[in-house]
Amino acid sequence: MPGQKLDEIDRMILSELQADGRMTNVELAKRVGISAPPCLRRVRTLEEQGYIRGYHADIDPREMGFEVQVFAMVRLVSQAEADLSAFEAKCISWPLVRECHMLNGEVDFILKCVSPDLRTFQNFLTEQLTAAPNVASVKTSLVIRGAKDEPGIPFDVLEARLARDA
C-alpha cells in the first residue's frame, strides 16, 4: 500500500508541511521530534522521491479579481489514447483551466476554470474549449460558493488505515 514504505516520522513531516509549508526546518524538526539536520535530509529525500511535489502560496482567486469559477464537463468524440493526451495537452496550455481530470462514465474530463468575469469565460468557452479538436460537448456549472477546498490528503485517515492493517 502506498504510504506504508514511509515511516511514522516521514508521514509526520509530510503532514506538518502540508499544513504549513513555510515553517522553518528547525520548527519542523521540533514538531516531529527529531533534530534539524536529519529532518532536512528527510525532507530532501521526500522531495527527490516525489512525495513533495512543490510548495505554493494559497492565493484567494476572488481577492485577485477572479470572480468566476466554473466546472466544465467535457465529452470527447474519440477516447483513443492519442486523442485523450492531445486534449490534456490543450488543457495544460489554457491559463483559465486550473485543474483537469479524466473521468470514467459519460463525461471524459472535468475542468476547474477561473475567470475574472463571465464574458472572459464565455469567450474561452466558445472560442477555445468547444472549438478544440475532438470536443463533442461541454456542460458547465457556475460555482455559487465553496464550502471546502482543502488540498492534499487526510493524514489521520492514512494513519488509521496503517494502524488497522498492522
Q: Are residues 110 and 42 in the same domain?
A: no
The answer to whether residue 3 scores a pLDDT higher than 70 is: no
Nearest 5 degrees, angle CA 68-CA 79-CA 133?
60
Same domain, 32 and 103: no
Place of cell 488540498: 151
Range of the domain at 136: 62-142
Q: Which residues partner with 71 through β-bridges?
A: 112, 141
Beta-bridge mates of residue 109:
74, 102
What are 117-162's pLDDT values in tens digits? Answer: 999 999 999 999 999 999 999 999 999 999 999 989 999 999 999 9
Considering only residues 5 and 68, tell me which one the structure prediction assigns the higher pLDDT. 68
Q: Write the single-letter amino acid at 121.
A: F
| 16 within some domain | yes
pLDDT tens per residue, range 24-41: 999 999 999 999 999 999
Domain-terminating residue out of 14, 33, 58? 58
* pLDDT of res. 157: 94
Q: List, for residues 85-111, the tens digit of each pLDDT value.
A: 999 999 999 999 999 999 999 999 999
The model's pTM: 0.86
Same domain, 81 and 49: no
